Structure 1
Amino acid sequence: MTTGASIVVRGGRVLQGDDLVDADVLIEDGIITAIGAFDAPEGVAVEDATGLIVLPGMIDPHVHVGWPGAADDFATGSRAAIAGGVTTFIEFAVQFPGERLEDVVQTWKDWGARSACDFALHAIVSDSTPATLEAMGRVVEAGVTSFKMFMTSQHSGGLGVDDGTLFEIMQRVAELGGLSMAHCENDEVIGHLAEKLIADGVVTSAGHSAARPPLVEAEAIARAVRLADAAGSAFYIPHLSSGDGLQAALLDTGRRVPVIAETCPQFLALTADVYSRPDGAHYVMSPPIKSAQDQVELWEGIMDGRLSTVGSDHCPYPRDFKDENAHTDFRRIPNGVPGVETLLPVMFTLGVRSGRLTIGDLARICSLNPARIFGLDDRKGSVSLGKDGDLVLFDPDRRFGTAPSDLNSDIDYSIYEDLELWGMPVATIASGSVVAREQRIVDDAHRGRFLARTPGVVLDDFDRRVVRA
């Protein structure tokens, strides 16, 4: 773990709420202690931010940097994060069948010692045995308060649970004051459609898309929301990909619990046409990218606040893993794409630069909201006194490199190489240390911290905490 450093960021336009204010920022021992005009303490390093926007570090609430077989681990995935202006991410500790939940969480914490950025953990739960339900209490005491379940086993390595197990885990999460999450896709419909497509000779990535139409997401979301409400558990929907899914998530059924929805930058930037490309396997993920109309509806959800967060679902696989079954059986193509490094420039280019969002909206969606939802807003989410010194010195008028050679993930392809992205993190500051400049790591020694969280945050004054002003 790296202790905090001290630095003055001078001459920038600092984001304060929805306004950009000419101000300097003082970080002492990793904490923001002054914003405005002040005399810099003697001997403290000065970082020139003239002509730049000073943003809070981005928070990616959805990454996979420990998933078996994936290209990135905590070391490489976190380097990609900070190069793109993400100073905190939330990783998933995975309880594969037969594993002890507490052991899994400890293993992921240990792996996190290699992280260049701060991190928190979600726990993926694959059973509701008495031992696991009891262990969930100890996991919460250890600072992990959000629990994800898979409603499908089609791509998850046997992690899928039935509805009874899902409901039982949600009830336990409610008892603990935590947050339930679920990968929402209808397992049986996917299996049926996939078998039919293979039998009809549709074996490439186009089949992956066809086997997972919006129906399979929307139906599972509606079911999961009902179960969460009956269980009394606040519910978070990750990687929502379709307009139908958004309607199902927010359908007013008189529910008692908060339902929070996240989408991903790839759903806002790309369309299902990518699955017809020769390299379509590189875009295989679950849920898959949907139609242009779905993209329109997701942007509407971002703009009107129905979608509260954007998470990258970063889980890249090596090219040879992706290509091995690309032309024989789409069911065997590893599911996952890179995204943590490009989260900020995608959202800036397609959100702010296009006129859909203000810079304040972007920071709210990609920093403040995830901090509030996941119990980190005492230290993360805004440029505020007393919060961690995590900043992005941002140039909105510079191109962001999208070629594989520009990026820091441990892969040799890029899903955004054909897009022109704008917005350069000229410098990324984590806990007062300059850790990256212009997409390159400059402090190899910096290490992040595990961020323990307390339960109950989402249920306390939820509307005030996450709804756009």
Structure 2
Amino acid sequence: MIHKPFHTIIRGGTVVTENGTEIADVAISGGEIAAVASSLNATAEEELDARGLLVVPGGVDTHCHIEQISGAGLMNADTFETATRSAAYGGTTSVVSFAAQHPGHRMRDVVADYAALAAKGAIIDYAFHMIVSDISGDNLRLDIPALVGQGHRSIKIFTTYDKVRQDDHAILDLLALAKREGALVCFHAENDGLIRHETAKLLADGKIAPKYHALSHPREAEIEAIDRMCRFAEFIDTRIMIFHVSTREGAEIVRAARARGVKVEAETCPHYLFMTVDILGSEYAARFLCSPPQRTADDQAALWEALADNTLQLVTSDHAPYRMDASGKFAHGRDVPFNKIANGMPGLETRLPLMFDAMVSKGKMGLEAFVEKTSTAPARAFGLQGKGVIASGFDADIAIWDPEASLTYGPDDLHDNVGYNPFCGTTVKGLPVTVLSRGKLVLKDRNLLGKPGQGKHLPMQAARI
């Protein structure tokens, strides 16, 4: 028996470990998990009763835009404080957001600026992807390799969008750098020419309403770009991650590439699993605009199949928050064409409850798969050491869930700064009630205890598929 005193003991919950589920006690000391055992004969400064509840690793959301200026020069709605507050209410304890470079900027300065914002505001732990839009000057030769060596091992590339997209030559240069330095390259993969072509046609025909956004991003744009990026990764022989897969064909391309040995992983997001393109015909269509757009029920079925067979390893939020006013979605006016409306929606707080409801409460994949797709696999993919697992020696990032609690989302009930909930009217069963970050209570009985600035930067370790 263990008799050592601990800082905290979580008693009697159903714990999800690497080996499955068991009713156990979890002891915490020094911010780490010190022991997991069926009955700990020990004392602690604080004990949390988790009987009848689930004890799971805190969520790891590796795709969120926080306090970020878009390629179009628009600041999104959330600061690191408001975004990570919202994340905590959703059961997430680690986020990876973007240090977004704009042309003419040094990558080292960009990362330093975002790091200062996060250090001031983040309530939970954080890391960064480097959005690389300019490889000129010393960026490719000096800055990016140096930053990778400092633990910023994720590079994001856009294959579309003015000011941020990279051409094939630059993409190959960055893939070669990633292979040499031990980094992971992530892609927003859509064919720019197809999007420009379709957008111009729609606008010329007077089809400017938000519902036409989906037609301006045809599925073929994703299909072509995902295949091309997989071929590039195969040629260079380096790791890549495809962000926000939305189509059946996109998932099939990733599946085929992995089968032939390409080092590719991929993710999807709740808005592709729980929304279809029909939502863009609603009265409030502008709030649902995102890229790629929502697709069809058949695509949803294919994405669930791809999650089940591990073609898609991760489910992330792609939290991209813009308010429904002149500071956000309608920065260019309310009666502008669809291509002038900011893309993105909030998702940090709803990601885990939506996935829990589908995977656990409704039995689509089960509790262990829920933890794997939303916490363990994201942490592993990006080398976030100590995250995503409940086991001795790991950080005490833990969410205690009440599987019977239910909530029907309202029009503006999230804890971010966005002003609307895109899943208004949706009922979820299963909610995080208490959340710990490095052993400190961030949320207790759905009340926020975490403070801005207590989150820590997470260096990414070199990872392998």
How does the TM-score come out when normalised to structure 1?
0.92
Match of 1:202 among 207, 214, 218: 207
Where does residue 295 of structure 2 map in the other structure?
Answer: 290
Q: 1:385 maps to what in 2?
A: 392
For 1:404 and 1:428, locate their aligned partners in 2 and report how far apart those are by CA, in whole Å.
25
Work out whether residues 60 and 378 of structure 2, in 8 Å CA contact, stay in contact via their aligned partners in 1: yes
Matched, 1:71 2:77: yes
Equivalent positions of 1:59-458 (< 5 A) are 59-68=60-69, 69-113=75-119, 114-134=121-141, 135-153=143-161, 158-252=163-257, 256-320=261-325, 321-323=328-330, 325=333, 327-376=335-384, 378-444=385-451, 447-455=454-462, 457-458=463-464
Q: CA deviation at 1:20?
A: 2.4
Q: What SS does the corresponding residue of 1:239 show, helix, strand or coil?
A: coil
Q: Are the counterparts in 2 of residues 127 and 165 from structure 1 also a CA contact under 8 Å? A: no
| Displacement after TM superposition at 1:120 (Å) | 1.1
- Tell me by how many angstroms 1:356 deviates: 1.5
Partner of 1:20: 21
1:116-168 deviation line (CA, Å, top 9, x unaligned)? 010111111112325111211110121100101110015xxx10111111111
SS in 2 for 1:355: coil
Q: Deviations over 1:46-91 (max 9, x none)?
A: 1111210000101001010021221111110000011110000111
Helix, strand or coil at the partner of 2:47: strand
Give yes or no for contact 1:407–1:439 (8 Å, CA) kept in 2: no
Partner SS for 2:109? helix
Q: Give the distance between the partners of 1:20 and 1:38, measured in 2 at CA.
A: 17
CA contact (8 A) 2:413 2:421 kept: no
Shift of 1:185: 0.5
Closer, same or farther: CA 446–424 of 1 in aligned 2, 3 Å:
farther
Distance in 2 between the 1:422 and 1:196 partners? 44
The alpha-carbon deviation at position 297 of structure 1 amounts to: 0.6
Does the 8 Å contact 1:435/1:446 carry over to 2? Answer: no
Offset, 1:294: 0.7
Identity of aligned residues (%): 34
Question: Using the alignment, how far apart are the partners of 1:285 and 1:334 within structure 2?
Answer: 8
Report Cα offsets for 1:389-447 as digits up to 9, x if no partner: 01111011111352244310102211111211121101011111111135441233561
Q: Which amino acid in 2 is paired with 1:50?
A: R
Number of residue pairs matched by the alignment:
449
Q: CA deviation at 1:326?
A: 5.1
What CA distance in whole angstroms lies between the structure 1 residues aligned with 2:342 and 2:291?
A: 10
Q: Report the counterpart of residue 3 of structure 2 in structure 1.
A: none
Structure 2 spans left out of the alignment, 5+ residues: 1-5, 70-74
Q: TM-score, normalised by structure 2?
A: 0.93
1: CA distance, partners of 2:408 / 2:107: 40
Return the alpha-carbon distance in structure 2 between the equivalents of residues 236 and 384 of structure 1.
27
Higher mean alpha-carbon deviation, 6-15 vs 305-314, is at: 6-15
The whole-number CA distance in structure 2 between the counterparts of 1:238 and 1:11 is 38
Greater shift in the superposed pair: 237-246 or 346-355: 346-355
Deviations, residues 279-326 of structure 1 (Å, cap 9, x unaligned)? 000011111111111111111111111110011000110111324645
Q: Report the counterpart of residue 56 of structure 2 in structure 1.
A: 55
Q: Map Cα deviations across residues 154-198 of structure 1 (whole Å, 9 max, x no partner).
A: 5xxx10111111111111111111111111001111011011111
Check 1:234–1:79 CA distance in 2 against 1; reply closer, same or farther (3 A cut): same
Instruction: Please tell me the residue identity of whatever aligns with 2:213.
Output: H
Structure 1 runs not aligned, ≥5 long: 463-469
Supply the distance in 2 between the matched residues of 1:253 and 1:282 (Cα, whole angstroms): 35
- With over 3 angstroms needed to count, the CA separation of the structure-2 counterparts of 1:20 and 1:187, relative to structure 1, is same
When residues 423 and 407 of structure 1 are mapped into structure 2, their CA distance, relative to the original with a 3 A threshold, is same
Distance verdict in 2 for CA 1:446–1:168, change over 3 Å:
closer
Which residue matches 2:72? none
Per-residue CA distance 1:207-234 (angstroms, 9 max, x = gap):
1111112111010111111112212220
Aligned-residue Cα RMSD (Å) equals 1.7
When residues 309 and 254 of structure 1 are mapped into structure 2, their CA distance, relative to the original with a 3 A threshold, is closer
Which amino acid is 1:429 matched to?
A: L
